[in-house]
Amino acid sequence: MDFKILAVGDVVGNPGMDRICRSLCYLKRKVNADFVVVNGENAAVVGMTPEQAEDIFDAGADVITMGNHTFGKRELVPYLEDNSRVLRPANCAPQTPGQGWGVYDSKAGPVAVIDLIGRCNMDYGPDNPFLMAEKILKEVSAKITLVEFHAEATSEKLAMGYMLDGRVSALWGTHTHVPTADAQVLPKGTGYVTDLGMTGPQYSVLGIRPELSIAKFRGDLTQRYQWANGPTKLEAVLFTVDSETGLCRKAERVDLYDENTAQR
């Protein structure tokens, strides 16, 4: 039996929240998704509030993943402790609040979701994500296992994909907010994409007003980042998994864009 997993790129600011609340249920029905994972770490630009998490769940998400901005909004901390459907990176320091992976019920049986964060070109040094993946997989018995790798370097994401090929159902990257064109099934049966992209302002620099990023790179005096206005997008990948084997049969982009910009 086919089991379809929809993985949605980082939700950015109020425009991203509006888009996810407006479009996720529609997209979920359109592609017949059975299980939905949404990255929410930029819902408040830097972090996510409990109220935003509830809105993302109400929109149709089964699990929300986070990344390097997990604790940008400290009010999320008690929510993380009480809600196992929000994951922070598993290779954060062991005393960090929340959990980095979980197992969830679905029509195809247990589904394991693992959240990891990379170390290349990031602002801090979490535990080795490759060794953490090996450690967690020894504890996971679910046939369908999904991994999100929140990382900057494409090489680090690809290396993780090939290390886990045939051992997990799907692995996708987040963090760069730029969708990659390499949605595929790796040789041993793991669905893979280097980056999902983002959900939020379409004409922006990673969701932020272009003029603010331009000023930063020019060396001008800068101001606090603000999300861009205008049309929005929702970028996502759909993985079709064989529920009997846990291996992926197909990985395809299912992006949505406003106005007359065609779905890619």
- In the chain, the domains with their CATH numbers are 2-203+233-257 (3.60.21.10)
d(CA 218, CA 62) in angstroms, rounded, equals 41
DSSP state at residue 130: H
Residue 252: per-residue pLDDT:
98
Q: Where are the alpha helices (DSSP H) in 60-180?
A: 76-82, 129-137, 154-164
Note the pLDDT tens digit of each residue in 115-133. 999 999 877 678 999 999 9
Task: Answer yes or no: are the C-beta atoms of 98 and 116 closer than 8 Å.
Answer: no
Start-to-end CA distance of the chain, whole Å, equals 27
Residue 125: per-residue pLDDT:
74
Residue 30: per-residue pLDDT:
98
User: In degrees rounded to 5, what are phi and psi of residue 88?
Assistant: -100, 165
d(CA 124, CA 116) in angstroms, rounded, equals 14
Residue 223: per-residue pLDDT:
80
Residues in the chain, pLDDT under 70: 124, 259-264
Look at strands 170-174 and 144-150 and give their pairing.
parallel
Residues classed as catalytic: 69
Residue 54: per-residue pLDDT:
98
Q: Where are the alpha helices (DSSP H) in 152-251?
A: 154-164, 210-218
d(CA 131, CA 42) in angstroms, rounded, equals 27
Closest CA to 120 of 167, 162, 173: 173
Residue type, 66: M
d(CA 5, CA 142) in angstroms, rounded, equals 15
Residue 124: per-residue pLDDT:
67
Question: DSSP string spanning 16-40?
Answer: HHHHHHHHHHHHHHHHT-SEEEEE-
Closest CA to 85 of 121, 120, 45, 50: 50
Note the pLDDT tens digit of each residue in 52-85. 999 999 999 999 999 999 999 999 999 999 999 9
d(CA 65, CA 82) in angstroms, rounded, equals 15
Closest CA to 166 of 248, 65, 75, 67: 248
Residue 227 forms beta bridges with which residues? 208
